[in-house]
Structure 1
Amino acid sequence: MIASQKIGKSFLGALNYNLKKLYHPDQNKRAELLDSSFASTDSRMIQQEIRLIKTLKPNLNRYVYHTSLNFSIEDELDNNKLLSIAHDYLKESGYTNNQYMIFRHHDAPHPHIHLLVNRISFDGTVVSDSNNFKRSEGITRKLEQKYNLKEVQSSKETLLKAAKIGEIERTLRTGKPSDKLLLQNKLINILNLGNITIKELIERGERQGIHFLFNQATTGKISGITYFHNGFKIKGQALGNRFKWAELIKQINYEQIRDGKAISEANSRTRTNYGNQSWPIREAKPNRYGGNRDNELYISGPADSYFDDGGSREADKIGEEGRSKPQRDFETGEDVYILHDDSPIDRDNSHYDSYGFEISNDVDDEAMHGRNRKKSQGRGIGR
C-alpha cells in the first residue's frame, strides 16, 4: 500500500479532478464516490460549504489535503473494505472532524482511492501537515497488517524513479527501452563499479554518450545535476533519487576542490554539444497536472534555459472542447473549468514501482504548479 500525498490551496481544482473521473467516457473506468460529508455533489454547493469553514481560518492558504491510497493488484478489495481503510487512514492522520470526500478510481489495473479533505476542522482547528511523509509511512504499514495487504515499496525507498505506464507500453510496442530506462541502466552499471571518482564517472559516461551538466556555483559547490543522452535531457531528481546530486556523491569519490576543474570542463562540453545544436532535444517534462507525460516527450529547440536543473514549465494548453464556461475559484482567483461526460480525459499520470506495481501519481493543484513555474522562470543556464 502506498500513499501519495498533496497539500494545496485549491479545493475546487482537486474536486474537479475527481469529479471528471465520474464521467469517464469508458463506463468501466468511471470513478465512484464512496462517501462524503457534503450535502451535495454539485461543485457550487460544495464550494459554499468549503467557504463557510474557510472563514474559521481565513489566512490559511494550504488547507487542502488530497491523497491517493494505492494497493497491489494482488489485493482483493471491494468498496466496503476500501471505505473502511480510507476512514482508518483519515482517523490515524488526525482527520476526525473535517469535510471530506472519498473516491474510488477505476482507470488503472490496481485498486486505488482518493481522499479529498479540508484540513480546517469544524471547530476551527487545523490538522498539522508536519512530518506528513513519515507519519503516513507508519499508518500504511499499520493498515497493511490490519487488513492483510501486500506491502509495496515506494520509488522513494528504492531510490529509482519508477517507469511510467507509457514508457512500458512504448517499450513493449517498439522492443526498445525508453530513454529514461536506458539512461538509468547505463548509469547503474557505471556506479556499480564502486569507488570511482567524479572524473571517472564523467569519462565513462561520455564514452557511452552521457553528458553531465552540474549546477556549479562560483564557489565550486554543486547543488544539482542534469543528464543528457543521445538528445534526451532529464534532471537527476526526475531520473531517480539515486541519480540526484545529494545521493550521487554518496556513491562516488568526490572532493569539491580536487574535482572542480573536471566538473567545469564537463559543463563546457555539455553546453558545446547541446547548446548549439540545430536539432531538437527530447526533454522529460511535466504535464499540466504535474506528472511527466507518459506517451511523448516535449520537443525543445536549443536555448540556454534548457540547462536549468529544477522547476517546471507551463505545459501546452488543452483544447476548450468539452469544457463549460469558467467558474471563478474563490481561493485562488483563477478560472476553473468544469469538465463533463463528453470532455477529453487528460493523459494518465500512473507509474510503476520496482515491483511492477502501478501507482497513480495525481497532482491536481494547478496553483501550486503555477508557483513552481514562476520559480523556474527565474533560473538561468547551469542552474
Structure 2
Amino acid sequence: MLAKLVKGTGFRGALDYDLGKAGASILTTNMAGEKPRELAQEFGAIRNLRPNLKKVVCHASISLAPQESLTDKEWRDVTQKYIQAMGFSDCQYIATKHTDTEHPHIHIVVNRVTMQGKVVSDSNDFRKQEKLMRELEKKYDLQAVTNSKEVDSKALTKNEVEKALRTGELPIRMQLQNKVKDTLKTYKNLNLFIKVLKENNIEVRLNRAKNGNIRGISFVLNGITMKGSSLGKGYSWNGLQKRGLYEQNEKNKEFIGCERRDSRSGRNHNDGSPLGIAEPAGATQNREQHGVDQAFERISKSNQGINSDSRKNHRRNKGFSH
C-alpha cells in the first residue's frame, strides 16, 4: 500500500480532478456539498479562519498493487484511519474512489485548518504515512512494502506516478531500477553487466576522471538518460560497487563507450557530444516503491500557485510513502 501527499494552496483544482474523473465516486466526507464548486466554497469558509496560511490543502492518494482490492467499506475505514493518524480529526475532508485504472486507489482532500481555526502541524507527516501504511497492510493482509529508508531505490515522483496510472506503463525510472537490479544479481563484472543491459536496450555511460577512475554512471533507455544516483543510492557507481559490481581492468574503455570529464570546464564528453541528464516525465505503480496514484501534476497545474509553492518547499511537501 502506497500513500502520496501533496500540499497546495487551492482546493478547487484538486476537487475538479478528484470528482471529474470518469467513474469517480465519493466514498466518505463530513461536508454538505457534492460538486467541486460547492465543496471549494465550504473549504474556503473554514480556510478564512487562517487567511495567512498558504499551504492549506492536503491532497493524499492511497493505492494498492494491481492484484489487490478493498471493499468500499474497507476503503472508508482506510480513510478514517488516515484522517486520525495524520491529525485531521477536526478538519473538513472528502475521500473519492477512482476506478479508471487497474490500480485500486483513492484520493483524500483535507483542510489543514480545523473547525476551531487551528492549524494541523505537518511535522513528520511522511513518517506518519509510512507507519500507517504498514499497519493497514497487516490489517487487510496486503502485500508488504519496504519502508523507503530500507531500500536503495528512489521513490517515484508525483509526475511519474500520475503518468503511470494514466498510461498503464512502467516509468523509465522503475524500468531501469528493475533491470539494473536483476542484471546485477548475475553479472558482477562491469563488461558483462554493460553487455547484458545493452541487449535489453539499455545503454550504460561511464563518467571517468583523467586518471581513468570511474566517477559516475548513467543509464539510457528510450532516449531518456538518468544518472545512477537518480535511481537511488544503490544505483550510483559507489552503490553498485558495494553491491558487487567491479571493473576488471582499464581496457574496458572502448567497449564501454565511456565519457571523460574535463575538470576545468566541468563539461562531460562522449565522442565529443555533451551528456544531457534528463529527468523523465513519466511513471507508475511501484514494486520497490510500487506505484500510486497519478493525479498530482494536473492538480498542481490546476491549482494556481501550487506548483511554485511546493517546488520551493522542502521535499517533505511531496513525500511519497511506501
**TM-score when scaled to structure 2?**
0.66
TM-fit CA distance, 1:36: 1.9
1:97 is aligned to 90
1:181 is aligned to 175
Which of 261, 272, 275 pairs up with 1:264?
261
1:27 is aligned to none
1:108/1:152 Cα in 2 relative to 1: closer, same or farther (>3 Å)?
A: farther
Partner AA of 1:362 in structure 2? A
Which of 295, 305, 315 pairs up with 1:362?
295
Q: Write the distance in 1 (CA, Å) between the matches of 2:54 and 2:77.
A: 30
Structure 1 unpaired stretches of 5+: 25-29, 171-176, 217-221, 254-261, 276-280, 287-291, 295-349, 376-383
TM-fit CA distance, 1:179: 8.8
SS in 1 for 2:144: coil
Partner AA of 1:269 in structure 2? H
Which of 71, 77, 80 pairs up with 1:78?
71
TM-fit CA distance, 1:10: 2.0
What does the per-residue CA deviation read over 1:265-285, in whole Å, with 9 as the maximum and x for residues that have no partner?
Answer: 59532483346xxxxx89553
Give yes or no for the alignment of 1:32 onto 2:29: no
Contact kept, 8 Å, 1:187 with 1:205, in 2: the verdict is no
What does the per-residue CA deviation read over 1:313-349, in whole Å, with 9 as the maximum and x for residues that have no partner?
Answer: xxxxxxxxxxxxxxxxxxxxxxxxxxxxxxxxxxxxx
SS in 2 for 1:102: strand
1:351 is aligned to 285
Contact kept, 8 Å, 1:34 with 1:79, in 2: the verdict is yes
Q: Write the distance in 2 (CA, Å) between the matches of 1:232 and 1:81.
A: 40
2:231 is aligned to 239
Q: Write the distance in 1 (CA, Å) between the matches of 2:178 and 2:44.
A: 46
Contact kept, 8 Å, 1:212 with 1:228, in 2: the verdict is no
1:131 is aligned to 124
Q: Write the distance in 1 (CA, Å) between the matches of 2:118 and 2:103.
A: 35
1:169/1:103 Cα in 2 relative to 1: closer, same or farther (>3 Å)?
A: closer
Contact kept, 8 Å, 1:38 with 1:99, in 2: the verdict is yes
Contact kept, 8 Å, 2:260 with 2:270, in 1: the verdict is no
SS in 2 for 1:128: coil
Q: Write the distance in 2 (CA, Å) between the matches of 1:137 and 1:97.
A: 22
1:31/1:235 Cα in 2 relative to 1: closer, same or farther (>3 Å)?
A: farther
What does the per-residue CA deviation read over 1:169-200, in whole Å, with 9 as the maximum and x for residues that have no partner?
Answer: 59xxxxxx979735863576469877x9xxx7
2:141 is aligned to 149
2:42 is aligned to 49
RMSD over aligned Cα atoms: 4.4
TM-fit CA distance, 1:131: 1.3
What are the equivalent positions in structure 2 for 1:239-318 lying under 5 Å apart?
Answer: 239-240=231-232, 242-243=234-235, 264-265=261-262, 268-270=268-270, 272-274=272-274, 284-286=279-281, 292=282
What are the equivalent positions in structure 2 for 1:192-231 lying under 5 Å apart?
Answer: 209-212=203-206, 227-228=219-220, 231=223
Structure with the greater relative contact order (CA < 8 A, sep ≥ 6): 1 or 2? 2
Partner AA of 1:91 in structure 2? Q
| Equivalent pairs, count | 275
Q: Write the distance in 1 (CA, Å) between the matches of 2:10 and 2:207.
A: 36
**TM-score when scaled to structure 1?**
0.57
1:270/1:113 Cα in 2 relative to 1: closer, same or farther (>3 Å)?
A: same
Q: Write the distance in 2 (CA, Å) between the matches of 1:154 and 1:63.
A: 30
1:81/1:61 Cα in 2 relative to 1: closer, same or farther (>3 Å)?
A: same
TM-fit CA distance, 1:17: 1.2
TM-fit CA distance, 1:32: 0.7
What are the equivalent positions in structure 2 for 1:313-352 lying under 5 Å apart?
Answer: 350-352=284-286
